Structure 1
């Protein structure tokens, strides 16, 4: 009887065979974090600083928080490393998992994907790796870029790998294949898609489900691909580069797709219009719903809150405005200047906007009529552009700037 009660308790508490996942931009890679009861305004100077980590390695990746432990990647010399820290700032371990990108912007960009105490990563040169989250032991590594004749775009590899069941997915680009699926246990090839041509893009993929069909939405420099994760069949593709009519950034697809209620939003910078696609009832085709030339989000991502999507757009590589667009119609609700473009996330009904040039970070109400600033402060630590996307875990705001990582308390004082 006691055993039955214990089993039922585990089931209803969600702890039996837990598939806890920590990854790029939070649940469903949507940029929406599930934390509640967070501060609705900040004191002057920002929320309480709980921890500052230094010398984590240069990078633009985001940290993740898994089982009360911080994990973050960084470039040290010519190598990409992943490190583990406790909440007092003590380093548990540091592990090399591959070679850093060797050309322009060599800083690490892969955010760890962690599930069942295993970390999945890809180096700047395309080595897919698995690391034990507890010990830091390198379990396996595969030179996927070389093995499958991958073709990186101009600024290298920025992917944070997606996982499902027993599979790790990696976008190669190139003429041999577009995407490969590797086993989580050994890194062995499970399937590879046919090639649609073109180099890889910079965006990370996302997994969606429609009519019982699980699809990996992956981007190359040319196309958005919907791939059956069971066998690697390309169910449909949509040509994106046809909309890249500007003078720069051709093929630079930069942001993870946003998916909601059978609709897929694709955004990138360089005067590329935002593209909304409607997914057919059986998941096997898409049609164009709308485009919006104002919403050419560069590398900061976007979030859907209510019936609106919020983010920033691209004027040039060093400037941009903040924007709100109606999800259903594609109508621009507002476009306004606030320092500069940059990354955005959301939690507990609020927007967290960070401009990339000088590091101002704002708490903003998701008002479709105006950019409604509530509080802001400036990130003073670290060096380089503020391209890393903030993250929120366990009531804490994680902000990475170059080789520094700051952790702030977002919980209300009553907690």
Structure 2
């Protein structure tokens, strides 16, 4: 029925006000989260209708569950939440009920613990329809004696396939699914740093190996993979430890189209995931002691291949140690400073200039944040979750809550279907962030 002014007159003032209120309030949109970072690498979630202000006590806590050690983020899809954990010196895939935190199933991934960087698994699961991919990680004596099998489970916990012979997954680097291909950053005695696998069988479609360097062995870097399409050409963006470079690899053929050497001598490889925005690629690192940078590359196609042009390079801002920045409305939200004193800030994507800076004792460059529905969800070094506007104009806080978690090196929050998940060292907490 077409609504006219005459109809509004018949409805009455109360009904009219209710209708206006409904139009002014953004609808809550159900949104699964199959990967803790979208494939473009940007820490911005497509959630809508989230709370714009928190009460004094923070958002409603739905549940908290002690599930074991690890830094694997929580993802949610098809009514189930997934993460990885370590209990009794063994690493497991875990499926949780998003409404209650109840463990629905637990499946053994690897019969040894992980003590390399943190306690427990670090790489986050990726959901692909009725399948979910996991990578546990363990070392026997040193980093070169790793074991990190790539496993595909059904969403009921049963194993479909695994890859653990010619190569292993890279610790902390989360794989990516595009169509029927699973791309994985890898470690290998044969210097293989990236593989493309059939999602249903685990069969290798292609792999790329790096040249010899003075470091001898080669590893993939901790940064997760990024997918970008430039003028119809698809690329996977990955980073390396030994050759210390970022690679643009043709997603269909495995051809390395371009290489970008780290602008600073990062000792552990790139950690923050490259962020693709249209034809742009934003990069950053914050290891400290002169090993900090942020850069913007512009991608273009030449002779049937993607190439890049460096737009700017800075060591002043966006030196995020672990955080993958959130780019929203052409502003880059992230952290600067160092591991003891820092700031939350926003920079202009186009030229890297500072938009605003919020310097406080609660921030270091080792914190983490995401953006959803125009809101920043940031984790302070005091283990608080802080809500603020994702604005180019300045810092405006909208609420905070003491998470009562030991966040240590914090994993980023994840938001799905009106719920926000935080992963502590041994506990997951879930908040309701919709009205």
| TM class, shorter-length | 0.7 to 0.9
Q: Deviations over 1:314-336 (max 9, x none)?
A: 413x4432121110011122333
Residue of structure 1 in register with 2:162 after alignment: 141
Unaligned stretches of 5+ residues in structure 2 = 1-31, 138-146, 213-217
Query: Structure 2-normalised TM-score?
Result: 0.81
CA distance in 2, matches of 1:176, 1:350: 41
Provide runs of 4+ in structure 1 moved above 6 Å: none
Conserved 8 A contact 2:40-2:277: no
User: Which of 154, 167, 179 in structure 2 is aligned with 1:165?
Assistant: 179
Is 1:209 the counterpart of 2:229 in the alignment? yes
Is 1:336 the counterpart of 2:353 in the alignment? no
CA distance in 2, matches of 1:53, 1:236: 45
Secondary structure of 1:300's aligned partner: coil
Is 1:406 the counterpart of 2:429 in the alignment? yes
Is 1:321 the counterpart of 2:336 in the alignment? no
1:46-57 to 2 correspondence within 5 Å? 46-54=58-66, 56-57=67-68
User: If you compute each CA radius of gyration, which structure gives the higher value, 1 or 2?
Assistant: 2
The alpha carbon displacement at 1:369 in A equals 4.1
Conserved 8 A contact 1:21-1:115: no
Conserved 8 A contact 2:33-2:76: no
CA distance in 1, matches of 2:296, 2:124: 26
The alpha carbon displacement at 1:379 in A equals 0.8
1:313 to 1:252, Cα distance in 2 relative to 1, 3 A: farther
CA distance in 1, matches of 2:78, 2:169: 36
Conserved 8 A contact 2:293-2:319: yes
Secondary structure of 2:47's aligned partner: coil
Secondary structure of 1:170's aligned partner: strand
Q: How many residues align?
A: 376
Is 1:390 the counterpart of 2:407 in the alignment? no
User: Which of 179, 183, 193 in structure 1 is aligned with 2:194?
Assistant: 179
Please, what is the CA RMSD of the aligned residues?
Answer: 2.0
1:232 to 1:21, Cα distance in 2 relative to 1, 3 A: farther
Residue of structure 2 in register with 1:89 after alignment: 101
Unaligned stretches of 5+ residues in structure 1 = 1-19
1:13-412 to 2 correspondence within 5 Å? 22-26=34-38, 28-54=40-66, 56-86=67-97, 87-98=99-110, 99-124=112-137, 125-133=147-155, 135-143=156-164, 147-148=166-167, 157-173=171-187, 175-196=190-211, 198-221=218-241, 222-240=244-262, 243-245=263-265, 249-270=266-287, 271-282=291-302, 284-294=306-316, 295-316=318-339, 318-338=340-360, 339-341=362-364, 342-355=367-380, 357-380=381-404, 382-385=405-408, 387-412=410-435
The alpha carbon displacement at 1:178 in A equals 2.1
Secondary structure of 1:376's aligned partner: strand
Conserved 8 A contact 2:383-2:406: no
Conserved 8 A contact 2:33-2:415: no
